Structure 1
Amino acid sequence: MSPPTTVDAYVEAAERSGYVMGDDDVPVSLHPVSIDRDQGDVLRRTVLTEGAERTLETGMANGISTLYLCDGLQRNGLTGPRHVVLDPQQADQYHCAGLRAVRTLGLAGLVDFRPRDSSLELPRLVDEGRSIDLAFVDGDHRFQGVFADLHYLDRLVRLGGLVLVDDYDLPAVRDAIAYFTANLDWILEEVVHRIAVLRRPHRTCTPPWDAYVPFQAVTAAPSAAG
């Protein structure tokens, strides 16, 4: 049987078997870390509807989210390293399964892969003067990890750009998001298939040095698809 040549066929085959292959031909389980097809459709559709040209994700794992994001970029007619991926565990924990997936489907040229912790690499991207249209946060799910990602993305994602955060059902994720909606005017637009869709304000928000709004997680009503 010929290997899948589209993202949808690849993911369908992976979900049917329950695993993907790493570079050393070791099967790497999809669960519990991989997003599902419904979530992948959210990522791809958002890239398309936003007309995103520069994207970023924290946490590659098995590469399923990367495939959907890159598929959206490709459908937007883009080429070159447009998608920054941060994952320090790609080789040791996932046997480079994500990198193999993007190579298999001819999407590797869109990927700027960086095998460093996001808390170390995101500041470097800020220093490089990068500007991102859309980011997907799905790395460290502890409060401090999510908060650090969002803190630097507040400097990287363009005004009016989107930040999508997986696993909004986790209290640590909700609480980290709540700081940015309460204090920096981020807007929680919807929660769909456990993905929180956040939009940065369209104008710069710089509170006074001593300003602080106590925050409590805000629960957005899930969309019909959620």
Structure 2
Amino acid sequence: MAPPKPEVVLPLGWECLLSAKFDTWYYHHKESGKSQWVPPEIEEKGDESSSPPLKKAKGGSGDFAAPGPHGGAIHEPSPLEPLRIVAKHPEPSHKSVWFCTELMPNEIIREIYRTERVRDAAGNEHKFRDGVNPAEGMHIYNCVRTNSLTSTLEVGCAMGTSALYICQAMKDGAGGVHVAIDPNQDTQYKSIARANISRAGLDDHFELIRETSYAAMPHLLRNGRKFHLIFIDGWHTFDYTLMDFFFADLLLQVNGLILLDDINHKGVQKCLKYVRTNWPHYEYVADTPAAATMATFRKLSHDKRDWNAHVNF
């Protein structure tokens, strides 16, 4: 039996819809494509979340709607309910997370954090580095499993801890395939991620692309691939991070999530600031268990900015 519909007065353009998955009501703004769990506030000067009307341009055959960015068409977003962001575990700044086995959903993950060692395909041991910590990993796991996400992408696989969390979430939940991009997996990282995935029995949920992100992501785009969640943890200069985010936006479905790791690096910080000030079609989700080191974004709609849009950052 559905819960009673909330009796709230909504701003113009908003509607209250029932989430069949979570058995609760949420609020959707049709024009902007934004969805949220809490009721929107009514502004005296109008609903600020509304998108401005599409500008018209003069042409030889009369008025026409200017095309969207990247040469694409203007998309009408569908009323998607917002994804759940689970916050049940401590911030990664707490040293105790390295000993919280409840943040480690399989034995391979527990072994890596307990011993601080990893093994390659030949069985040789290496010091564990270049991976997420348990709080970050569990945040990713919860995003995937709670929302039954079945198509995910990762830039920068390294030793495979993030991939282990994502693939385990798929195995424990709705299934699916996680795609990891890493040109250094067989060289610098000695196929350690691939070996960890196999040892955990997660091969059916894992696909590895041994290319750079700037080569692999356009190829995925041309092939029509779409993803529900994209985890960015690649080269940390501003230009590479922004490029990864740019292509992630094109590959991500509306209402999908982008998780940007290592936000305390200066180049990544600069990219984070640009996205938060210049990409209104994304919502920054600040209240997450990994917020100190990882930014979480929800895609509200397709990009509707004017061709010359810019906000100083």
Question: Could you state the TM-score of these two structures normalised by the residue count of structure 1?
Answer: 0.86
Give, in whole Å, the separation in 1 of the partners of 2:166 and 2:305.
33
Contact persistence 1:184–1:206 (CA under 8 A): no
Q: Aligned AA for 1:196?
A: A
- Of the candidates 268, 290, 300, which is equivalent to residue 173 of structure 1? 268
Give, in whole Å, the separation in 2 of the partners of 1:112 and 1:174.
29
Q: Aligned AA for 1:188?
A: Y
Aligned to 2:219: 124
Question: What displacement does 1:7 show?
Answer: 4.6
Question: What displacement does 1:9 show?
Answer: 2.1
Aligned-residue RMSD, C-alpha:
1.5
Contact persistence 1:28–1:62 (CA under 8 A): no
Q: Map 1:54-133 onto structure 2 (within 5 A).
A: 54-79=151-176, 82-133=177-228
Give, in whole Å, the separation in 2 of the partners of 1:147 and 1:107.
31
Give, in whole Å, the separation in 1 of the partners of 2:153 and 2:175.
15
Contact persistence 2:119–2:126 (CA under 8 A): yes
Give, in whole Å, the separation in 2 of the partners of 1:28 and 1:158.
37
- Please say if 1:16 is aligned against 2:111: no
- Please say if 1:42 is aligned against 2:148: no
- Please say if 1:213 is aligned against 2:308: no
Q: What SS does structure 2 have at the residue aligned with 1:13?
A: helix
Question: What displacement does 1:199 show?
Answer: 1.0
Identity over aligned pairs, percent:
25
| Structure having the higher Rg | 2
Name whichever of 206-215 and 185-194 sits farther off.
185-194
Contact persistence 2:145–2:174 (CA under 8 A): no
Contact persistence 2:106–2:200 (CA under 8 A): no
- Of the candidates 294, 298, 302, which is equivalent to residue 195 of structure 1? 294
Matched residue pairs, number?
A: 206
Contact persistence 2:228–2:256 (CA under 8 A): yes
Q: What SS does structure 1 have at the residue aligned with 2:106?
A: helix
Q: Residues 17 and 34 of structure 1: is their aligned pair in 2 closer, same or farther, counting only changes over 3 Å?
A: same
Q: Map 1:135-154 onto structure 2 (within 5 A).
A: 135-154=230-249
Instruction: Render the CA deviation track for 1:1-46: whole Å, top value 9, x for unaligned.
Output: xxxxx85322221122211111132222212x11111111111011
Q: What SS does structure 2 have at the residue aligned with 1:101?
A: helix
Give, in whole Å, the separation in 2 of the partners of 1:211 and 1:11.
44
Q: Residues 204 and 77 of structure 1: is their aligned pair in 2 closer, same or farther, counting only changes over 3 Å?
A: closer
Instruction: Render the CA deviation track for 1:34-75: whole Å, top value 9, x for unaligned.
Output: 111111111101112222111010111111110000111112
Question: What displacement does 1:161 show?
Answer: 0.7
Q: What SS does structure 1 have at the residue aligned with 2:183?
A: coil
Q: Aligned AA for 2:191?
A: C
Give, in whole Å, the separation in 2 of the partners of 1:129 and 1:179.
27
Q: What SS does structure 1 have at the residue aligned with 2:263?
A: coil
Q: Aligned AA for 2:205?
A: L
Contact persistence 2:150–2:174 (CA under 8 A): no
Contact persistence 1:24–1:95 (CA under 8 A): no
Give, in whole Å, the separation in 2 of the partners of 1:180 and 1:126.
21
Q: Aligned AA for 1:182?
A: T
Q: Aligned AA for 2:111?
A: A
